[in-house]
Amino acid sequence: MSRILCVDDEPAILRLLTVVLAVDGHEVSHAHNARDAIVLLERGGIDAVLLDLGLPDRDGLELLGAIRSIAPLPIVVVSARNDVREKVTALDLGATDYVTKPFDGDELRARLRAALRNREVAPVADVVEFGPVRLEIDHHRALVHDQPVTLTPKEFALLRALTEGRGRVLTHAALLEQVWGKAHRDDVEYLRVAVRALRLKVESDPSQPMLIRNEPGIGYRLGGGAT
Amino acid sequence: MQRPFTLYLAALVAVGGVVWATTTFLPVLGLASAALLFLLPVLFAAARGGLGPGLFAALASAAAYNFFLLPPRYTFRIHAPENLVSVIVLVAVALVTSRLATRLKAREIEALDRARLSAELAELSAALAGNPAASAFDRGVALVAERYGQMQVLADPSQIRPSVLLSSLDQAAAAWAQHNGDVTGHGTEVMPAADWTFLPLAPRNRRDRAVAAIAQRPDGTTRSRQEIDHLAQLALLLGQCRDRDALEAERRERELLAESNRLRQTLLAALSHDLRTPMTVLVGRLELLARDHPSAAEAMAAAVHLQHSLSDLLEAARIEDGALQPALESIDPVDAVTEALGRLALRPGVALQRDIRADLPFVRADAVLLDHILANLFDNAQRHARALIRVEGRAIADAVLLSIVDDGPGVPEAERDRIFERFARAEGSDRTSGSGLGLAIVKGLSDAMGMTVSVDQAPGGGARFTLAMPLAKAPSA
C-alpha cells in the first residue's frame, strides 16, 4: 500500500502501470515529463518512483540525479533502452533497480516490492544484516545462516558492501571502488577472483551460487532475501 | 648534330689551311713552331666531332707535317727520331682531346636532359596536386600524351590479350613489361621491333603492375635511350598517382559504407526502441486480461511469442549488420550458467541436471552476449527435451566446454551444420514455438566473441550442443 510515482511520456504505459500496480494495492501518480515529476516529488507523499529514461524535456538519467537530491526514494528505472552501459550508469547514479521494456508485470511488481522493502537504509551501526548474512563490523565477525565464517579483510569488505546494498545490484565499479579503492574501478578481474573465493566460504553449493548473485555485465547483488 | 662527313671535311680543310700557312711562313716559324700549329686542326676536329674526326685530323696533320715540312720534304720518310716524336704527339693530342670533348658533350646532354626531366616532373606534380576532385592519374596521362604522343594505359593482362590495338608482338612486349617491370618495345632492347613502347607504372619489386603504352613519334624516328629513360620515370610518377587515386577511391568507398552502416544501425536501434512501448502495452494488458478471462490466455501467449520473435529478428539483424561490439572481459562460467538457468521457465515434466564444478577457469566473453547465447541454448533444449536436460561444464587446455544435452529426438547428422542457419528447424519439430532464429543468433554471437558452437549426438540419443569458450588470461590478483 504505497504511493508510486510513474514517470513516462507514453499515456498507454502509464495506464498499464496503474492497473499492474493496483494488483498490489499501490496508488499511482502520473508524470508525463521531468518537470511534472519534480513538482509531484516536492509535494511529498511518494514512496517509490518508476522512471522511464526517454523523457521529452530532460534526460531520464539527469532526472534520476535530481530525484536523489530531493528524497532518498527507491527508484526503479523502466526503460526501452536495453543497453548494459545505460543500466550501469543508472545504477551508479543511484537507481535501485532496472527493468527493461517490454516488462513482465509479475516481475516488475516483485522488483518494486523488493525495492520498497529494502528502502530502510540501515543506520551506520556495528551490525549489518540482510537475508542470511549478519556482519559484526567491530569484531570483524561474519555469520551466514548463523554459522561463523572466516573471511580475509577484502572478502569481509566485499560481503559488507553487498550486505549494505540490501539486495540492490551494485555495479562492478561501485564494488571495486568501495573495496579496493578508486584506482581499481576497472579491475573486474579482482572482483571475479574475490567473489569466487567468498562463494566457496559462504555458499551452500558454490557451483550453484544463490547468495551472491551475478547480473550479467552489470554487477552483483546479495540474494537470499525473499523476492 | 652535324653529319660526320662534314666534320671530316672540315678537319681536312683545317689541316690544309695549316699546311698552307706553315709552308708559306716556314722560314719565319721554324719547324718546331710549325709542328705546334698542326695541333690546332686536331684540337678543333676532336672538340667538334669527337674521336673519329679528331683522329683523322691527327693522322692528316702528321702526314702533312711529314710530307710538306719534315726534311726530306715531299716524302713520307722520316730522318731524325725527334720528328717521329712530333707525329706521335699529334696523335696522342687528338686521342686525349677527343675523349675529353666527348665526355664533356655527354655531360652536357645529360645535364640538359636531367634539367628537362626535373622540370617536367615538377610540372606534372604541380598539375596533379592542383585539383584533388578530378583523377590525378587521368590528368597526368593527358599531360604526358600531349607532349609525347598517344598513350594507352593497360591496367591488367586482360587489357593486353586479346587486343585490337596491339599486334601479337606488341602484346608480348606489353606482357613482358607487365610481368617483369622492364621497359619494352620500340626504342628499347626488349622486342624493339614492336610498334609501341611499353612503360611499367610500378617499380620491379611490385607484383600487380599496370603498363602505359606510348606510340611511336609521329615522324617515325626512334626515341633516344635518354628519352625512353625519361618516359620510364614519368611513367613511375604516373603509377604513384594511380596508386593514390586508388587509395582515395577506396577511402571514399569505405566512408560511404560506414555511413550506410551507421544509418542502418540507427534505424535498427530506433525500430527496436519504438517497438518496445507498444509491445509492453499489448503484452501487459493481455496478461491482466487473462487473469479474469481464460480465453485471453491464448492471445497473450501469441503476443509473447510475437514479442520474442521481434526481438530475435532485431537481434539477428544486429548481428548481420556487424553492429555487435562485444565488450570482452573475464567471466566466471558458473555465474553465466546460474543466471541463465535461473530465468529458464522449464516445461512441466522436464528435469534439470547440473554438472558444473565451482572451480572452472574464467572465460573471456561479453557477459550480456554470453547470457543471450546460454538462454537460447537452454530454451532450445527445454523445447526438445522429453524429460531431462543436462548441463555439463569442463575445462580443456585453452577453453571451457559447456555442453547442453537433452533427451529429445536429436539432430540428424545431415542437418547439423544447417541447424545454425536462420529459419532452420529440425524435421518434425514443433513449428509454433521459437522464431527459427534462436540457434542462428547463438552462432552469430559466438562467432562475434571468438567462441565455437557445435551439435552432435548425446550418448542417450538426444542432441548435445557444445559451446567452447576461450579462457581468460590467468588473473593476476
> What pLDDT, in 10s, does the model give residues B139-177?
788 888 888 888 888 888 777 777 777 888 888 898 888
Task: Using the predicted structure, report yes or no on whether residue B438 has a pLDDT greater than 80.
Answer: yes
How close does chain B come to A194, measured CA to CA in Å?
9
- A131 & A173 share domain: yes
**CATH number assigned to the domain comprising residue A208:** 1.10.10.10
Query: Between chains, do A208 and B338 touch, taking CB under 8 Å as contact?
Result: yes
Give the DSSP per-residue string, B84-124: HHHHHHHHHHHHHHHHHHHHHHHHHHHHHHHHHHHHHHHHH
* Same domain? A205 vs A103: no
CB contact under 8 A, A209 and B335: yes
- Region A84-111: mean pLDDT is 90
In DSSP terms, A31 is beta-bridged to A7
Q: Which domain holds residue A9?
A: 3-117
pLDDT at B133 over 70: no
Show residues of chain B in contact with A217, CB under 8 Å: 327, 366-368, 371
Give the integer Cα–Cα distance in Å for B237 and B125: 8
Q: Same domain for A22 and A71?
A: yes
> Buried b vs exposed e over B135-151: b needs ≥16 C-beta within 10 Å?
bbbebbbebbeeebeeb
CA distance A136 to chain B (A): 27
Domain limit, last residue, from A84, A117, A150: A117
CB contact under 8 A, A192 and B307: no
Task: Please say whether the beta carbons of A48 and A116 come within 8 A.
Answer: yes
Domain boundaries, chain B: 4-115, 131-249, 263-320, 329-470
- State how far the Cα of A20 lies from the Cα of A25, in Å rounded to an integer: 9
H-helix or E-strand spanning residue A31: strand A27-31
- In this structure, chain B runs to a length of 477
The confidence band for A227, taking pLDDT boundaries of 50, 70 and 90, is very low
d(CA A80, CA B281): 12
Give domain status of residue A122, yes or no.
no
Same domain, A141 and A38: no
| B87 vs B351, more confident | B351
pLDDT reading at A92 higher than 70: yes
Whether residue A63 is contained in a domain is answered as yes
Verify that A39 and A138 share a domain, yes or no.
no
Class of domain B329-470: alpha beta
pLDDT band with cut points at 50, 70 and 90 for residue B435: low
Question: In the block, which residue shows the cell 590495338?
Answer: B165
Q: What is the pLDDT of residues A165-176, one digit of tens each?
A: 888 889 999 999
Please check whether residue A213 is in contact with residue A221, taking contact to mean a CB–CB distance below 8 angstroms.
yes
Look at A11-20, B98-107, B349-358 and tell me which has the smallest mean pLDDT: B98-107
In the structure, what pLDDT confidence band is assigned to residue B433 with cuts at 50, 70 and 90?
A: low
β A48-51/A3-7 pair status: parallel
Model confidence pLDDT, tens digit, residues B218-231:
787 888 888 888 88
What pLDDT sits at residue B335? 92
- Collapse the DSSP code of A215 into the 3-class scheme (helix H, G, I; strand E, B; otherwise coil) and give the result: strand
Are A8 and A101 part of one and the same domain?
Answer: yes
Read off the DSSP letter of residue B418.
G
Per-residue pLDDT band at B476 (split at 50, 70, 90): very low
Whether residues A164 and A184 fall in one domain: yes
Quickly count helices (H) and strands (E) in chain B: 12, 11
Neighboring chain B residues of A19 at a CB cutoff of 8 Å: 285, 288
Number of other CB atoms surrounding residue B18 within 10 Å: 23
Which letter does DSSP use for residue A137 in this model? T
Cell of A108: 516488475
Per CB-CB distance under 8 Å, the chain B contacts of A195 are: 332
Of B278, B284, B307, the CB nearest to A105: B284
Instruction: Please report which confidence band the pLDDT of residue B52 belongs to, taking 50, 70 and 90 as the band edges.
Output: confident
DSSP B96-107: HHHHHHHHHHHH
The CA–CA distances, whole Å, from A209 to A47, A165, A167, A223, B445 equal: 32, 18, 15, 9, 26
Cβ distance A216 to B371 less than 8 Å, yes or no, reads yes
Based on the domain organization, do A104 and A137 belong to the same domain?
A: no
User: Does A49 fall in a domain?
Assistant: yes
User: Is the distance from CB of A112 to CB of A167 less than 8 angstroms?
Assistant: no
Q: What grid cell was written down for B128?
A: 596533379
Residue in chain B closest to A197 (alpha carbons) equals B359
Centre a 10 Å sphere on the Cβ of residue B42 and count the other Cβ atoms it contains: 33
Question: Does residue B432 carry a pLDDT above 60?
Answer: no
- Structural domain count, chain A: 2
Alpha helices in chain A (DSSP H): 11-22, 34-43, 60-70, 84-92, 105-117, 153-164, 172-180, 188-202
CB atoms A209 and B338 under 8 Å: yes
Identity (one letter) of the amino acid at B153? Answer: V
* ipTM field: 0.85
Residue B465 binned pLDDT confidence (cut-offs 50, 70, 90): very high
Q: Would you state the pLDDT for residue B153?
A: 86
Residue of B nearest to A12 (CA): B281
Tell me the C-alpha distance between B152 and A204, whole Å. Answer: 82
CB contact (8 A) between residue B477 and residue A207:
no
Q: Which of A104-113, A157-166, A169-178, B83-92 bottoms out in mean pLDDT, i.e. has the lowest?
A: B83-92
Decide if A189 is inside a domain. Answer: yes
Residue A31, phi then psi, degrees to nearest 5: -135, 130
CATH class for the region spanning B131-249: alpha beta
**In-domain check, residue A93:** yes
Cβ atoms of B422 and B436 closer than 8 Å: yes
CATH assignment at residue A24:
3.40.50.2300
CA distance B204 to chain A (A): 52
Q: Are residues A44 and A8 in the same domain?
A: yes
Round to whole Å and give the CA distance between A134 and A137: 9
How many contacts (CB atoms, under 8 Å) link A and B? 106
Rounded to a whole number of angstroms, the distance between the first and last alpha carbons of chain B is 86
Q: Using a CB-CB distance cutoff of 8 angstroms, which residues of chain B are in contact with residue A107?
A: none
**A227 assigned to some structural domain:** no
Nearest to B277 among A82, A101, A190 (CB): A101
All three cell numbers of B31, joined, read: 719547324
Domain final residue, candidates A61, A87, A117: A117
What's the one-letter identity of residue A40?
L
Beta strands A97-100 and A75-79, pairing class: parallel
Domain shared by A81 and A156, yes or no: no
Q: Is residue A97 part of a domain?
A: yes
